[in-house]
A and B are shown apart, each in its own frame.
Chain A
Amino acid sequence: AQSVTQPDIHITVSEGASLELRCNYSYGATPYLFWYVQSPGQGLQLLLKYFSGDTLVQGIKGFEAEFKRSQSSFNLRKPSVHWSDAAEYFCAVNTGTASKLTFGTGTRLQVTL
């Protein structure tokens, strides 16, 4: 079965600093990969997704993610973090044959001013 690992439970960055959130997956083939963000009291919002093609994908709110097959990773990046980016971020995978997403445990991002 596929699994998703987000090794960082909590990350704190200063506003304006760059950000990288790590995500590793375990699956025999290339899965479909997603990043979602959850603000307090809100549902999950899709930031970006990777299905195939260019391994660097652009998303909303200035986020991007890079798929690295050799490392089974799909790390999320942002060059300059804003205070409003403080939220919980979830990496998720779908194997393409099922109708479900498998989520990681999430990384809580705190932004200091």
Chain B
Amino acid sequence: EPEVTQTPSHQVTQMGQEVILRCVPISNHLYFYWYRQILGQKVEFLVSFYNNEISEKSEIFDDQFSVERPDGSNFTLKIRSTKLEDSAMYFCASSLRGLTNSPLHFGNGTRLTVT
């Protein structure tokens, strides 16, 4: 069964550094998402992406965050200047159609540690 893949599985970075988290969604999916889960807290929506543009973003997704689909297969999340509070598990997800018509498929996540 096709799956969403995320790399790396764990990334350690210093505060103030830029980090790029990479995701390869399922190949025929059209909608892409980033969620994060701070340790011990709930999974939180960051951003959704469709037709090469952001369709919705949360208040967490400020100017320090950006997403890109640089080619036909990758979907990336960039944090320009990481803060300690950005430490979390970041999940990429994709769906064939919109959320109410097809399920989200999640990757296994990238654990980001900011020191």
Interface residues of chain A, those whose CB is within 8 Å of chain B, are 32, 34, 36, 41-46, 49, 51, 90, 92, 94, 96, 98-106
What is the CA–CA distance of A105 and B45 in the complex, to the nearest angstrom?
13
CB neighbours (8 Å) of B33 from chain A are 99-100
What is the CA–CA distance of A41 and B9 in the complex, to the nearest angstrom?
9
- In the complex, which residues 48-97 of chain B have their Cβ closer than 8 Å to any Cβ of chain A? 48, 50, 55-56, 58, 91, 93
**In the assembled complex, B107 has its CB within 8 A of some CB on chain A:** yes
Q: B45 to A100, Cβ gap below 8 A?
A: yes
- Name B57's closest neighbour in chain A (CB-CB): A100
- Name A96's closest neighbour in chain B (CB-CB): B100
* Number of B residues with CB within 8 Å of any CB on chain A: 26
Q: B106 to A44, Cβ gap below 8 A?
A: yes
Q: B56 to A43, Cβ gap below 8 A?
A: no
B44 to chain A, nearest CB (A): 7
Q: A46 to B100, Cβ gap below 8 A?
A: no
Q: A45 to B106, Cβ gap below 8 A?
A: yes
- Name A32's closest neighbour in chain B (CB-CB): B100
Q: A94 to B108, Cβ gap below 8 A?
A: no
- Name A42's closest neighbour in chain B (CB-CB): B108
Q: Which of A42, A43, A99, A103 contacts B98 (CB 8 A)?
A: A99
B73 to chain A, nearest CB (A): 18
Q: A94 to B100, Cβ gap below 8 A?
A: yes
A sample of 5 cross-chain residue pairs with beta-carbon separation below 8 angstroms, ordered by A number, consists of: A43-B108, A44-B104, A100-B45, A100-B48, A101-B35
List the 5 closest pairs (A to B, CB-CB), nearest first. Answer: A43-B106, A100-B45, A99-B48, A103-B43, A44-B106
**In the assembled complex, B109 has its CB within 8 A of some CB on chain A:** yes
User: Would you give the 0/1 interface string for B104-115, flagging 1 where the beta carbon is closer than 8 Å to chain A?
Assistant: 111111000000
**If A99-B56, A100-B58 touch, does A90 touch B43 (CB 8 Å cutoff)?**
yes
